[in-house]
Amino acid sequence: MSDSTAQTTLWPAPTAPRAVDATVTVPGSKSVTNRALVLAAHSTEPGWLRRPLRSRDTVLMADALRAMGVQIEETVNPAGGEAWRIIPTGLHGPATIDVGNAGTVMRFLPPVAALADGPVRFRGDARAYERPLHGVIDALRALGARIDDEGRGALPLTVNGAGSLAGGSVSVDASDSSQFVSALLLSAPRFNQGLELRHTGRTLPSLPHIRMTVDMLRKAGAKVDAPQDGGESNVWRVAPSALLGRDLTVEPDLSNAAPFLAAALVTGGRVTIPGWPRRTTQPGDALRTLFTAMGGSYELTDRGLTFTGGGRVIGLTADLHEVGELAPVIAAVAALADGESVLSGIGHLRLHETDRLAALAKEINELGGDVTETEDGLRIRPVPLHGGIFHTYEDHRLATAAAVLGLAVDGVQIENVATTAKTLPEFPDLWTDMLAGAAPVPGRG
Ligand SMILES: O=C(O)C1=C[C@@H](OP(=O)(O)O)[C@@H](O)[C@H](O)C1
Ligand SMILES: C=C(OP(=O)(O)O)C(=O)O
């Protein structure tokens, strides 16, 4: 969490003048958009991606695929939002890919590069060089790829693609990140022998994200056996096959809905998120039950999800292993609750955009809070907070968590709120519009 304090722009987080009552249109899912781009690049025919998320992580993904020869044309969707036409071509190097600090880009693309013809070099933000990539690098090597990583198991690296990859059986320890598994599965239909992946680690975080990978692979025509179907636990099998071009409309990013639903909870107000899917693999769907346990209630109708705060915020004891992405905002809500919270199962958050456990504890405590790090999570005792600077360590979810605290605490100043551009560039406007009770942003029909 060390290298981010150079940014000094401060955003005064608005306090909530009253209970919020707003409809907030949340842009598309990062995880769905970036998986869809990879699958479309592997397809045998062009595809459409409607209402994709346009943010730093997804633009990095699109630009990286373009660098390997994929055509991505950006058009306006007559039904609202954007529509990207993806025209797959023979993947090739030489190319240089900037992964920024996007886990999806740095993990999902080395397997794609292994299928490209020519060298593909990967670089990224300073933090990206600290995030683990060993699960992807070691597995690709075992499956036949040539990779120069100076023995680091991390960036920078060059994948010397040969135009095809043998594939076969491999064991992976993905306890650091579920993205190791998703990365290999997403490209596996294109491996000559497909893939049999056995997870050997002690724990496997973010299972909903792996289910999302399997679901999207199947919808693109891949044949996948997965533990979620009651098969052998910890083993995924993907048969070699062609993939279909899809016409896919991206769901709203439910993890990015977290701060807005949190606003309903902590102000005792009401927020509606249009387009909330009835069925989804997104981990953010768990917010319905998690925030209900913290004192709110919800209604899921054709209009979307309406979440209503109950006037008091209850502390939460929960294992967030499957939904770690939600932890920063939940921690902020917990700091405003009327009882202690213990969030566990999220040791892997130390490997995210920043060490999120250390950063949350430090920054909430700087505002007068009482947060301690445990071995695999956080213990949060609510105490009266005061204003101050909340450092964000170039972590979008630290910034949105700080905004939640700012609703109830005067004088919270968020350093570099623009870091929300990683997945939600519109965040400051959506937030102030919500507090003004403004209408939904245009673009989503
Ligand atoms: O596959 C994905 O789209 C993601 C998987 C998760 O990663 P980890 O398993 O590393 O937590 C999640 O936190 C990340 O934001 C997105
Ligand atoms: C962990 C996250 O991102 P990444 O895809 O960079 O891992 C996140 O968005 O919370």
Residue type, position 99, single letter: V
Gap between the Cα atoms of 383 and 394, Å rounded: 27
Length of the chain: 445
Contacts of 115 (CB under 8 A, 6+ apart): 42, 91, 161, 163, 164, 165, 187, 190, 191
Are 10-27+252-435 and 30-249 equal in CATH topology? yes
CA 436 – ligand 1 centroid, Å: 32
| pLDDT digit string, tens, across residues 56-101 | 999 999 999 999 999 999 999 888 889 999 999 999 999 999 999 9
At 8 the pLDDT is 76
At 80 the pLDDT is 82
Can you tell me which atom of ligand 2 is nearest the CA of 352? 1
Nearest CA to 251 among 439, 53, 57? 53
Give me the residue spans of the domains in the chain.
10-27+252-435, 30-249
Taking the alpha carbons of 93, 96, 102, 106 in that order, is the dihedral positive or negative? positive
Question: Is 250 in contact with 28 (CB distance < 8 Å)?
Answer: yes
How does DSSP assign 33-98, residue by residue? Answer: HHHHHHHHHTBSS-EEEES---SHHHHHHHHHHHHTT-EEEEEE-TTSSEEEEEE----B-SEEEE
Residues belonging to the binding site for 3-phosphoshikimate are 30-31, 35, 177-179, 206, 325, 352
Is 325 part of the annotated catalytic residue set?
Answer: yes
At 443 the pLDDT is 44
The verdict on the CB of residue 325 being under 6 Å from ligand 2 is: yes
CB-neighbour burial class of residue 162 (10 A; exposed 0-12, middle 13-18, buried 19+) = middle
At 229 the pLDDT is 84
Which ligand is nearest the CA of 283, by number?
A: 1
The verdict on the CB of residue 324 being under 6 Å from ligand 2 is: no
The verdict on the CB of residue 104 being under 6 Å from ligand 2 is: yes
Mutate to test the pocket of ligand 2, among 33, 55, 325 (most ligand atoms within 8 A of CB): 325
| Fold held by 10-27+252-435 | UDP-n-acetylglucosamine1-carboxyvinyl-transferase; Chain (3.65.10)
Residue of minimum CA distance from atom 4 in ligand 2: 103
**Comparing 15-19, 257-261, 349-353, 401-405, which segment has the lowest mean pLDDT?**
15-19
pTM score, two decimals? Answer: 0.96
Can you tell me which atom of ligand 1 is nearest the CA of 205? 9
| Class of domain 30-249 (CATH, top level) | alpha beta
| pLDDT digit string, tens, across residues 164-175 | 999 999 999 999
Query: Within its chain, how far is the Cα of 222 from the centroid?
Result: 23
Mutate to test the pocket of ligand 1, among 29, 31, 280 (most ligand atoms within 8 A of CB): 31
- Catalytic entry in 322, 325, 363, 415: 325
Residue of minimum CA distance from atom 3 in ligand 1: 31
Average pLDDT over residues 131-140: 98
Q: Is the pLDDT of residue 280 over 60?
A: yes
